[in-house]
């Protein structure tokens, strides 16, 4: 990894941020338009093209779901249930804070209610990989929020089957429908609907570059959660941190893909050199080394800052998806962090554990969007409904300022609709 002494925080941050590759917009648009026009026929064509699977029926049957349970071990099932329960507890606690409110102000009653979105589509990556954890992370917040229709789509393998762990995870979390389709075509189906897959109101969940591009393109007509890019891990550490732990954590997130953005920010040159040496020693011994080497070589770095405040400033500018703080007083530093998808405190809170079972959500903002939002949660599946009731005396009392404001905006008929009631 590159070790860089940072003197100008803003200049360094602007240069070190990885450049996002240009998405192949024309290909994504053509697939979306094809699915919009030809529905299930187009879905079958693209599954055959991309996954080599021949799909006769997209929706998983009760028998297929039951068979998935017999394909996994009891220990795997127990682990899924544990991850489900822990996230469920977190989301339920958040929901308990959302109470309907009535505000009375001079005869005007405003009622605020928290109501669930009516239908959501959860994209769960798959095909050659398996991500049952992503099924849990997207479905549970929707279920706790009370969404009445939760749809799951996931790419099948060449035999036309979804990974059984993913199927079981979706089932125990409460998915109402599970479909064997992925990629751009799945996003298009969720947004536009087909004969087999009715459209949804919002699409959530992580995916590759093409899936993210598809979510962006359909967002004009269908809600989406966020545009998530490659995994990001920032670590703030001082000389009290264990260099091996840091090296292991950097490697753990870098194994996701060859374009992850993983780095260490420190004031200790000694720690920087120790971590770099440890990474080099571990690389020949690890699995998925090709991803890790490519990622850490192209995007990884160790930044040596002058002061603690410089470390905090750099972290806030970079706004990482995950931020681990491994210092003597991590809470002191975390109180000054304003831009991170998830903050993990102390040496025994690795981001890898949060990806699965700590009770936090691993669907997180990347590419700087941690400046404006946090992890996926029930808040992504709930909208605020507002009801207003005004009495005639209250409307009359507000007549004069209403006349002034409507006249100022040259919307004269707005005031006429008010005055007509007061004659």
CB atoms within 10 A of CB 381: 25
Fill in the DSSP letter of residue 59: B
pLDDT tens digit sequence for 388-419: 999 999 999 999 999 999 999 999 999 999 99
Q: How confident is the model at residue 232 (pLDDT cuts 50, 70, 90)?
A: very high
DSSP state string for 128-152 = TS--HHHHHHHHHHHHHHT-SEEEE
Q: Give the pLDDT confidence of 347-372 residue by residue, as tens digits.
A: 999 999 999 999 999 999 999 999 99
The per-residue DSSP string of 301-323 comes to: EEEE-SSHHHHHHHHHHH--SEE
- Name the fold adopted by 25-224: Rossmann fold (3.40.50)
Domain 2-20+230-359: CATH superfamily is Nitrogenase molybdenum iron protein domain (3.40.50.1980)
pLDDT band at 238; cut points 50, 70, 90: very high
**Average pLDDT, rounded, for the chain:** 96
- Which of 19-23, 86-90, 149-153, 209-213 is least confident? 19-23
Q: Which long-range contacts (CB under 8 A, 24 or more apart) does 339-342 make?
A: 339/315, 339/370, 339/371, 340/234, 340/315, 340/370, 341/232, 341/365, 341/366, 341/370, 341/374, 341/375, 342/374, 342/375
Residues of the chain with CATH 3.40.50.1980: 2-20+230-359, 25-224
For residues 334 and 326, give the distance between their C-alpha atoms in angstroms, rounded to a whole number.
10
Asked if residues 376 and 120 have their Cβ atoms less than 8 Å apart, the reply is no
The pTM assigned to this predicted structure is 0.94
SS3 content of the chain, % helix, strand, coil (to 5): 50, 15, 35
- What is the rounded distance in angstroms from the CA atom of residue 101 to the CA atom of residue 121? 29
Residue range 177-199: average pLDDT?
A: 98
List CB contacts of 172: < 8 A, sequence separation 6 or more: 80, 81, 84
pLDDT for position 23: 61
Evaluate if residue 127 carries a pLDDT over 80: no
Residue that has been written with the tokens 């049957």 in this structure: 61
- What is the model's pLDDT at position 18? 82
Residues designated as active site: 321-322
Q: Are 156 and 51 in contact (CB under 8 A)?
A: yes
């Amino acid at each position: 990894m590159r070790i860089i002494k940072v003197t100008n925080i803003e200049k360094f941050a602007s240069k070190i941020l990885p450049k996002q590759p240009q998405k192949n917009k024309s290909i994504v648009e053509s697939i979306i338009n094809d699915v919009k026009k030809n529905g299930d026929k187009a879905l079958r064509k693209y599954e055959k093209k991309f996954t080599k699977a021949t799909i006769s029926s997209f929706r998983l049957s009760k028998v297929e779901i039951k068979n998935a349970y017999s394909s996994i071990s009891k220990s795997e099932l127990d682990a899924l249930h544990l991850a489900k329960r822990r996230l469920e507890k977190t989301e339920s606690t958040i929901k308990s804070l959302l109470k309907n409110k009535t505000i009375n102000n001079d005869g005007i009653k405003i009622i605020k209610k928290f109501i669930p979105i009516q239908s959501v589509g959860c994209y769960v990556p798959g095909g050659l990989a398996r991500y049952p954890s992503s099924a849990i992370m997207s479905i549970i917040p929707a279920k706790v929020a009370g969404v009445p229709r939760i749809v799951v789509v996931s790419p099948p393998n060449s035999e036309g089957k979804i990974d059984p762990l993913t199927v079981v995870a979706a089932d125990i979390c409460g998915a109402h429908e599970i479909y064997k389709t992925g990629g751009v075509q799945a996003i298009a189906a969720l947004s536009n609907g087909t004969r087999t897959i009715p459209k949804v109101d919002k699409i959530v969940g992580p995916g590759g570059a093409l899936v993210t591009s598809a979510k962006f393109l359909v967002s004009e007509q269908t809600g989406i959660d966020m545009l998530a890019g490659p995994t990001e891990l920032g670590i703030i550490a001082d000389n009290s941190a264990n260099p091996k732990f840091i090296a292991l954590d950097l490697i753990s997130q870098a194994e996701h893909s060859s374009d992850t953005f993983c780095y260490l920010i420190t004031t200790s040159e000694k720690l920087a050199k120790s971590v770099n040496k440890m990474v080099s020693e571990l690389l020949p011994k690890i699995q998925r080394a090709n991803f890790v080497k490519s990622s850490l070589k192209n995007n990884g770095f160790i930044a040596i800052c002058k002061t603690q405040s410089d470390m905090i400033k750099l972290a806030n500018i970079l706004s990482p998806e995950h931020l681990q703080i491994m210092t003597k007083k991590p809470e002191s530093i975390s109180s000054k962090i304003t831009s991170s998808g998830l903050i993990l405190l102390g040496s025994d809170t690795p981001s890898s554990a949060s990806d699965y079972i700590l009770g936090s959500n691993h669907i997180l903002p990347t590419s700087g969007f941690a400046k404006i939002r946090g992890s996926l949660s029930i808040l992504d599946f709930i909208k605020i409904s507002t009801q207003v009731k005004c009495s005639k005396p209250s409307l009359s009392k507000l007549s004069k300022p209403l006349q002034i404001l409507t006249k100022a905006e040259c919307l004269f008929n707005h005031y006429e609709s008010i005055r007509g009631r007061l004659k």
